[in-house]
Amino acid sequence: MFTIADAVTRSVAETGQEAQRLAAYGVRGLVIPPDFEESFYRHGNLPEQLRRLFSPVNPARIDEDALEPLAERAQALIRTTYLLDDAVQAFYRALAPAGLYSGELHARRPGRLSTETATVTPPGTAALHAVKRLWAQDWAFDAVLARLDDSGSVALEARPTLLIPGPPGWPDAERAAGLGVEVALVSPHGLVGLF
């Protein structure tokens, strides 16, 4: 994990394009690279558990009524699976350099509007729970159905996650036009998204 400011020294695969744009504008926050999420899935044996959970689903003939409770169970599985102690401690240590050790923050995937919020006090458990809730959104009914429609599988690739101080932003069309991007998100803390 590294600060958004450090995103410019990393690959786009680790950070997402948006983190590098945010770094150029001095936006504070933390980037959680895909390998952290992959480790969470691997150490929690989640790929196998999710494969078994969704094994009754036939991608050629999706029964949406049967899929909905499976998606709810998958989300609960993500939210309730523990990270290894070393990963948790690394996460907590990464919060302070990013200015996220206390106060309000939001978690978001680069290039996405959907967020999870938390009010953090040390050591940062609320921030970690917000990240897991965000990851659980990947297993919401609509997200799983879209993957089944697009690829015939419920599988997904790990992606970067952003943690940014303050509340989630809202789209500002004027700011986006001025910065030459499709979407600019602003909050009372200033610029919080560019994609």
Whole-prediction pTM: 0.95
φ, ψ (nearest 5 deg) of residue 170: -125, 150
Give the 3-state secondary structure of residue 173.
helix
The residue with tokens 């695969």 is 13
Over residues 9-14, mean pLDDT: 95
d(CA 45, CA 16) in angstroms, rounded, equals 26
d(CA 130, CA 178) in angstroms, rounded, equals 32
What does the pLDDT look like over 83-128, one tens digit per residue? 999 999 999 999 999 999 999 999 999 999 999 999 999 999 999 9
- Judge residue 151's burial from the number of C-beta atoms within 10 Å of its C-beta, 0-12 exposed, 13-18 middle, 19 or more buried: exposed
| Confidence band for 176, pLDDT divided at 50, 70 and 90 | very high
- Amino acid identity, position 96: A
At 27 the pLDDT is 97
